[in-house]
Amino acid sequence: MQFSELNIIQPILKAIEEEGYTTPTPIQEQAIPLVLAGNDLMGCAQTGTGKTAAFSIPIIQLLSKNKEYKGKRKIRALIVTPTRELAIQIGDSLKAYGRHAGLASTVIFGGVNQNKQTGVLQQGVDILVATPGRLLDLMMQGFISIRDVEIFVLDEADRMLDMGFIHDVNKLIKALPDERQNLFFSATMAPEILKLAGTILKDPVRVEVTPVSSTAEIIQQSLYFVDKGNKNALLVDVLSEQPATSVLVFTRTKHGADKVVKHLMKHGIKSDAIHGNKSQNNRQRALSNFKDKTIRVLVATDIAARGIDVEEMELVINFELPNISETYVHRIGRTGRAGNKGTAISFCDYEEKAYLKDIEKLIHTTIPVVEGHPYPMEVFVIEKKEQRGARPPRNQGAQTKKPRPTTEQKVDAAKKKGKKTWFGKRDRY
Ligand code: AMP
């Protein structure tokens, strides 16, 4: 399928060609004709599938067909997305795909002074991309009216709910005109997402691509069992072996991200962290240093990483496994985009084995384990000794008939006493 077969107008086709896109992605193939035909859309797709173009292209086309009006431009398409990074990316995409279409668009988000944003808004825009908080704020101050919106997009609805934006979204919906086209995107379709969709969409057509549990199949994954205290050393080791020039490392906490960066810098690996405690300027600087390869490693928490869109991401490392298994799929989905090959490496310590179990259940895959690395879990060393007959001294000459505790029992007992724990190799979980 070619873009030209999707009834896209010439100015947009030209821009798509200039972007270097040759064929539409599956979500674009499905969604573009449906949106052009005026349908409400429920899109089950995550970042990396090309969903931004799937809604941006038909929006530009629909608005540019009917742009003969007098006076100041009114906001006719509103795209609401959870993070500033995503908002900026969508804004960039709209500018790119719409560069020959003669429409005006702008992006607003919180955490920065509003004057520049209100200045642009006062000149009039056709398309507004916004995060919910700043949007409501500027509406309250009278800088924005959304009464003329013809197309409303709610992007990454699942994350919107995760981040606690439900009340803001409900307020926005009330302020929109009843007569409008709605496009709703979410990577997952949990019951609360469907409930929200029900309050927004009218007779939607549903499109679904790469369900969250199958995305992982196109990415080469591997797993290192490693004690928590050795993860930093292992990371340096893995980075010295891997040829990747852009590496995204995930931690669960902001503090953890900073610690990893400190360790990497100490070992001469250029890196920076991106997380919620960093100022907007710091985050943008880290991201642009990463994009132009001034730094090799970007260490991110999940929330901060949501908007990161870096092409040619070769390697994702889960320094810590996420406690929500779908997050694993989102994380590794940062690599292997748009047909590029990608690698995802995960470090798993004892405490994380339950997370690993959930992840493998979700992706229907047993992640291959890397054996023989320099920082094996303590248990592997002990087990090997046991196999060779060199049992720990406390077990030697045991006279009692009581059966020896299993590895799992030993681990649980040690955990209860707050001791350092270890577990058996055969007992993956
Ligand atoms: P998205 O899922 O919208 O975040 O897009 C993921 C990445 O794929 C972005 O970097 C886009 O520039 C790129 N992309 C979107 N559509 C296409 C396409 N048809 N061909 C090649 N790359 C694309």
Neighbours of 67 (CB within 10 A): 13
> Rounded to the nearest whole angstrom, what is the distance from the C-alpha of residue 92 to the centroid of ligand 1?
12
Q: Report whether residue 311 contacts ligand 1, using a CB cutoff of 6 Å.
A: yes
Query: For 207-261, what is each residue's pLDDT tens digit?
Result: 988 554 455 556 889 999 999 999 999 999 999 999 888 899 999 888 999 999 9
Domain 214-363 CATH (choose: 3.50.50.60, 3.40.50.170, 3.40.50.300, 3.40.50.2300): 3.40.50.300
pLDDT average, residue stretch 30-48: 92
C-alpha 167/C-alpha 132 separation (Å) is 10
C-alpha 280/C-alpha 40 separation (Å) is 34
What's the confidence (pLDDT) of residue 26?
87
Query: pTM to 2 decimals?
Result: 0.59
C-alpha 359/C-alpha 73 separation (Å) is 48
Query: For 157-188, what is each residue's pLDDT tens digit?
Result: 988 998 889 999 999 999 999 999 999 999 88
Q: Is the pLDDT of residue 404 over 80?
A: no
What's the confidence (pLDDT) of residue 78?
98
Query: For 103-157, what is each residue's pLDDT tens digit?
Result: 999 999 999 999 999 999 999 999 999 999 999 999 999 999 999 999 999 999 9
Question: 280-291 and 84-97 helices cross at what angle (nearest 10)?
Answer: 50
C-alpha 403/C-alpha 410 separation (Å) is 13
- What's the angle, vertex CA 62, arms to CA 60 and CA 66, rounded to 5? 110
What's the confidence (pLDDT) of residue 426?
41
Q: Is the pLDDT of residue 308 over 70?
A: no
C-alpha 260/C-alpha 229 separation (Å) is 12
What share of the chain has pLDDT > 70, as a percent?
82
Query: Domain 3-208 - what CATH class?
Result: alpha beta
C-alpha 147/C-alpha 135 separation (Å) is 13
Full DSSP string of 154-173 = E-SHHHHHHTT-HHHHHHHH
> Rounded to the nearest whole angstrom, what is the distance from the C-alpha of residue 401 to the centroid of ligand 1?
65
Domain ranges of the chain: 3-208, 214-363
Cβ pair 313, 293 in contact under 8 A: no
Q: At 388, is the secondary structure helix, strand, or coil?
A: coil
Query: Is there a shared CATH topology between the 3-208 domain and the 214-363 domain?
Result: yes
Query: For 75-87, what is each residue's pLDDT tens digit?
Result: 999 999 999 989 9
Q: Is the pLDDT of residue 280 over 70?
A: yes
Cβ pair 337, 308 in contact under 8 A: no
What's the confidence (pLDDT) of residue 250?
95
Q: Point out which residues pair with 107 in neighbouring strands.
A: 129
What's the confidence (pLDDT) of residue 417?
62
Which residue's alpha carbon is at the smallest distance from atom 14 of ligand 1?
A: 50
Closest Cα partner for 43 from 233, 277, 211? 211
Query: For 334-360, what is each residue's pLDDT tens digit?
Result: 776 655 678 999 999 999 999 999 998
User: What mean pLDDT value characterizes the chain?
Assistant: 85
Pocket test for ligand 1, best of 30, 186, 337 (most atoms within 8 A of CB): 337
